[in-house]
Structure 1
Amino acid sequence: MEVRIGVQNVAREIVVETESTHEEVEKTIAEAIESDKPLFTLTDRREKRIVVPTASIGYVEIGSDTKKSVGFAALAE
């Protein structure tokens, strides 16, 4: 699943590919904001940890769990 995080006063967004579900990502972020934790952490598919200051979050876009296929399909005649 792809997660995009917009950070205040930063032109580029943070993009994380994670194995976590939509619900797990949303819960992690909500808990960090509600409990006033200074940082929140996500782990990507390669086991790298991404740490973001909670107070600097501008927005979070959580992608879908479905995989997109790329390529050409044979057309029926």
Structure 2
Amino acid sequence: MDIKIGFSDTAREVVVSSNEDQEAIVKQVADALADDAGVLRLTDDKGRVVLARNNRIAYVEVGTTTSRPVGFLH
């Protein structure tokens, strides 16, 4: 699933792909954002770590865990 992080001082966003459960990601983001001076730490599906300062985060969008069908539907 993709996690998009938008920042207050820039129009760009950071996209992190993760294999973790959606509820686990949402809890991790909510816990990190509850601490004003903290840092949001996410690990992507390749093991890379992304750190973002909480006071600069404007929004976090967490994708769905359901897979989308590929091809034509009848």
Report Cα offsets for 1:25-67 as digits up to 9, x if no partner.
1111111121334211000000000001111110111101122
Give the whole-Å Cα distance in 1 for the aligned partners of 2:13 and 2:70: 24
TM superposition outliers: structure 1 runs of 4+ over 3 Å? 69-73
Q: Which amino acid counterpart does residue 35 of structure 1 have in structure 2?
A: D
**Secondary structure at 1:42 match in 2:** strand
Superposition pairs for residues 33-72 of structure 1, below 5 Å?
Answer: 33-71=33-71
Q: Once the two structures are aligned, what percentage of the paired residues are identical?
A: 34
Quote the RMSD (CA, aligned, Å).
1.6
Superposition pairs for residues 16-31 of structure 1, below 5 Å?
Answer: 16-31=16-31
TM norm structure 1: 0.82
- What number of residue pairs does the alignment pair up? 74
Where structure 2 has 5 or more consecutive residues not aligned to the other structure, the ranges are none
Give the whole-Å Cα distance in 2 for the aligned partners of 1:30 and 1:70: 32
Give the whole-Å Cα distance in 1 for the aligned partners of 2:54 and 2:35: 10
Q: Which amino acid counterpart does residue 48 of structure 1 have in structure 2?
A: R
Give the whole-Å Cα distance in 2 for the aligned partners of 1:16 and 1:22: 13
TM norm structure 2: 0.85
**Max radius of gyration: which structure?**
1
Q: Which amino acid counterpart does residue 34 of structure 1 have in structure 2?
A: A
